[in-house]
Amino acid sequence: MTAIDLDDTAAAPYWDPFDEVIDTDPHPTWRRLRDEAPLYRNDRYDFWALSRHADVEAASRDAAAFSSAHGTVLEFMREDFQAGGTMIFMDPPDHTKLRHLVSRAFTPRRMARLEDRVRELCVAFLDAQEGSPSFDYLQDFGARLPAMVIASLLGVPIEEQEEVRHTIDQLFVIEEGTGMGNEVAMQAGAKLYMYLSDLLGKRREAPQDDMLSDLVQAELTEPDGEGAGPFARRKRTGKFVTVKMPVYDRFAPARREARPWGYLLPPTLTDVAVLLRRQGVVVERMPDAWSGLAERFKVDSLSAEPYQFEGHRTVRVEGAWGAAAAFDAPAGSWLVRTDQPLGTFASYVLEPASEDGVVTWNLVDRVLSTRMPYPIVRLRASIRVRSLELDRPPP
């Protein structure tokens, strides 16, 4: 512990992030830094610190000058810091791409389902204190709830969540002079890494309806030109492969129902037909109207990302396919059968909740509404129609 008189206002302000006395009530020290040394230098630990809100905000947006690639906590910061692919130690654009990938798992449906678990945890923690004259709110409730909720969100089994919480607590043990770079925190980090690696392996083999399953199947597409020829480059589990469009080969294992026989697109979605055809999918134009049974997707919620990714503002759709009912397709509709070599790919792209489909890439979201069904319908049974294959994109 440092021998610094915190009440000595005549001395220059001093801030030591490892000092327990300062940490007990840091606000007077921070106030002095803002007033007297907004750009603060600590020679003992060789660091600079910003304390004013405007300066901190500006620095957080200037990754070129204030990089996260050398570490984000003092005890780890150095020129040769090895981030190991950790998201928090990345700068844009790499950080932005991974953040976008992770955000796909935070769907309104999953957040709504988590509410029951949060209530269950709150009730359990508070019921355990019944009859006690008092209890430590932070230790017995506040410190436990966030870690347990995050564990539930990720998909950590309930019977293992308490042990995982203790491991996470140890990960943030701080010791004077070494901060988080101590033996307890290091061992906890290694233990948590091994646990999550094992759990991810299980989710890869047997996906469940949780965030870890979504993340282990997620893929990252690099801009056109960084792959081979005109194709995009996709990063999946550390390997790069060449594809015409991202994430179509995992459609089949991700779905929990049989693939439909085909899809019908309204005449107005010519750009979608063109997109599919350019990827090698056979798309047929129906010169005549058709009536029969088709499934329609009821849109329950729509959400759009506040930022753009690869030139697009990602849109997510949640809802459910209804039972087959009478449907009238006008002349000029587009037919996409799935019994073709790229039928699985076409299915993935045309599904409304697909992570990399026509909704995500802003091709149909302009006509989406919670008051109207999804414009593309599914056909479970084969139909007989007179059709013309789209040999080339229309002018």
Determine the average pLDDT of the residues in 289-310: 79
290 and 167 in one domain? no
Does residue 158 lie in a domain region?
yes
Task: Identify the H or E element spanning 327.
Answer: strand 325-329
Could you tell me if 333 and 264 are in contact, meaning their C-beta atoms sit under 8 angstroms apart?
Answer: yes
Same domain, 347 and 378: yes
Between the alpha carbon of residue 222 and those of residues 91, 100, 334, 353, the distances in Å are 16, 13, 30, 22
Residue predicted with more confidence, 328 or 3:
328
Count of domains forming the chain: 3
Q: How far apart are CA 329 and CA 336, in angstroms?
A: 13
At 206-220, the pLDDT tens digits run 888 788 887 776 655
Q: Which domain holds residue 327?
A: 252-389
- Please check whether residue 344 is in contact with residue 248, taking contact to mean a CB–CB distance below 8 angstroms: yes
Task: Please choose, from the candidates 298, 285, 297, 272, the residue with its C-alpha nearest in 3D space to the C-alpha of residue 357.
Answer: 272
Separation of first and last alpha carbons in the chain = 75
Task: Report the pLDDT value the prediction gives residue 92, as an integer from 0 to 100.
Answer: 81
Q: Are residues 374 and 277 in the same domain?
A: yes
Across 211-215, 226-230, 249-253, which has the greatest mean pLDDT? Answer: 211-215
Residue 295 has pLDDT above 90, yes or no: yes
* Nearby residues of 16 by Cβ (< 8 Å), 6 or more positions away: 2, 4, 22, 42, 44, 45
385 and 257 co-located in one domain: yes
Q: Are residues 281 and 170 in the same domain?
A: no
Q: Are residues 243 and 259 both part of a single domain?
A: no
Residues 141 and 194 in one domain: yes
Helix orientation angle between 108-127 and 145-154, rounded to the nearest 10 degrees: 140
Residues 274 and 145 reside in one and the same domain: no
Q: Which two tokens stand for residue 51?
A: 């304390």
pLDDT tens figures, 43-92: 988 889 999 999 999 998 888 888 888 877 777 777 766 655 677 778 88
Mean pLDDT of 120-147: 90
Question: Does residue 98 form part of some domain?
Answer: no
d(CA 9, CA 19): 18
How many Cβ atoms from other residues are within 10 Å of residue 395's Cβ?
3
In contact, 313 and 304? CB cutoff 8 Å: yes
Provide the pLDDT confidence category of residue 8 given band limits of 50, 70 and 90: low
Is residue 297 within 8 Å of 322, Cβ to Cβ? yes
Please tell me whether residues 285 and 192 are part of one structural domain.
no
Q: Which two tokens stand for residue 314?
A: 């990602």
In a domain, 126, yes or no: yes
Residue 304: beta bridge partners?
Answer: 315
Q: Is 264 in the same domain as 372? A: yes
Predicted pLDDT at 308: 55
How far apart, in whole angstroms, are the C-alpha atoms of residue 167 and residue 163? 6
Q: In terms of domains, do 376 and 262 share one?
A: yes
Instruction: Identify the CA nearest to 327 among candidates 259, 269, 284, 374.
Output: 374
Residues 240 and 177 in one domain: no
